[in-house]
Amino acid sequence: MLRVSGLSKVFGGLRAVDDASLQVDQGRIVALIGPNGAGKTTLFACIAGFQPINAGRVQFLGRDITGLPVHEIARAGMVRTFQITQPFAKLTVHENIAVGAYQKFPERHRAWEHARAIASQVGMEHMLEQPASELTVAGRKRLELARALATSPRLLLLDEVMAGLNPSEILEIIAIIRKIRDSGVTVLLIEHVMHAVMSLSDTIYVLSYGKIIAQGTPEEVVNNQAVVEAYLGRGSTLPQDDAKPGASHA
């Protein structure tokens, strides 16, 4: 569904993303993890068209979308959320989601109905009339997700939708993401909450200093020497110890 090949992004002298390749198959949940500053959000921005790239190609649904403007990529069915939430602050929850829904349904009543349905899908049906500016962090994260979901995307790019949430909120959002996947939407997510990544993902890519250093199933990645070193530093694991401890949090 999504194929990124050899993508590089340079800021001045810094290679923020260095020859990164990844693939997301239809109906999967794929995670992109890595230490802070590894370039995950930059890679997201490049894939979704927010940043021009220096090298590489992005293919989506068999079509080359490299260099297309953001709104065209979004209309093609790939919609991102923002790590730092960007709500339409003065609009209500319902209106925020309706803006997304309007992209799918041009008529008012259908857009508003669809927005209401999406709101209950993410558990926001009680907050429809609240202004987005008055939401808690958890509420804003959900709104970010709902708004993207309302456009009826084929692929959702979720940038740390669990950051700043408490454990029970995280459990709720894990369930929501799983439901979204089950409804046929493919998901690519950036996440630091490792137990969520482990329980949700089919495939994990690990980014460190702009390079993809590992990929595989959750088990494969946890047991990967390079991954543990990327998180904890060289020498943190003894060869015979099989590298289990570090990778399950961070």
Partner 1 sequence: MNSTLKPVPWKLHLAVLAVAIAFPFVFPSNFMVNFGVLALFYAFIGQSWNIAGGFAGQLSFGHVAFFGVGAYASTILQIRFGFSPWVGLPAAAIAGALVGGIIAVLSFRAGLKGSYFALITLAFAEVLRIIANSVDITGGGLGMLIPMKPGAANFQFAERTGFYFLILALAAGSVALAEWLRRSRFGAQLAAIRENEDSAKALGINVFNEKVKVMLLSGAIGGMGGCFFAQYFLYIDPLIVFGTDKSVEMLLVSMIGGAGTVYGPLVGAVLLALVSDGTRALTQIQGLSLALYGALLVVIIAYLPNGLIDLFGRWRKPARGKR
Residues that bind partner 1 (CB under 8 A): 48, 50, 69-71, 74-75, 79-82, 86-92, 95, 98-100, 102-103, 106-108, 111, 134, 147-148, 151
Residue 157 vs 197, nearer CB to partner 1: 157
Please return the burial class of 197, using the count of CB atoms within 10 Å of its CB with bins 0-12, 13-18 and 19+: buried
Strand partners, 123: none
Please state, in angstroms and as integers, the Cα–Cα distance from residue 126 to each residue in 82, 129, 136, following that order: 23, 8, 14
Q: Which is nearer to partner 1, 109 or 234 (by Cβ)?
A: 109
Four-CA torsion 238, 240, 244, 245, nearest 10 degrees: -40
Nearest to partner 1 of 74, 165 (CB atom):
74
Q: What single letter denotes the amino acid at residue 42?
A: T
- Of 16 and 132, which has the nearer Cβ to partner 1? 132
Widest Cα–Cα separation across the chain: 63
Shortest approach of partner 1 to residue 16 CB, angstroms? 19
User: In this complex, which beta carbon is closest to partner 1, that of residue 86 or of residue 166?
Assistant: 86
Smallest separation (angstroms) from partner 1 to the CB of 189 = 15
- The first and second tokens of residue 84, run together, are 């730092």
CB of 6 to partner 1, least distance (A): 25
User: Would you state the structure tokens that stand for residue 90, as one six-digit string?
Assistant: 């003065």
42, 190 Cβ separation under 8 angstroms: no
User: Rounded CA gap, 68 and 82, in Å?
Assistant: 19
Question: Least distance from C-beta 92 to partner 1, angstroms?
Answer: 7
Q: Which residue's CB is nearer to partner 1, number 71 or number 244? A: 71
CB of 186 to partner 1, least distance (A): 17
Count the neighbouring beta carbons within 10 Å of the beta carbon of residue 191: 24
The three-state DSSP-derived secondary structure of 78-118 is EEECCCCCCCCCCCEHHHHHHHHHHCCCCCHHHHHHHHHHH
| Length reported for the chain | 250
Cβ at position 228, least distance to partner 1 in Å: 34
Site of tokens 């979204």: 180
User: At its nearest, how many Å lie between partner 1 and the CB of residue 152?
Assistant: 10
Instruction: Output 102 or 231, the one with its CB closest to partner 1.
Output: 102
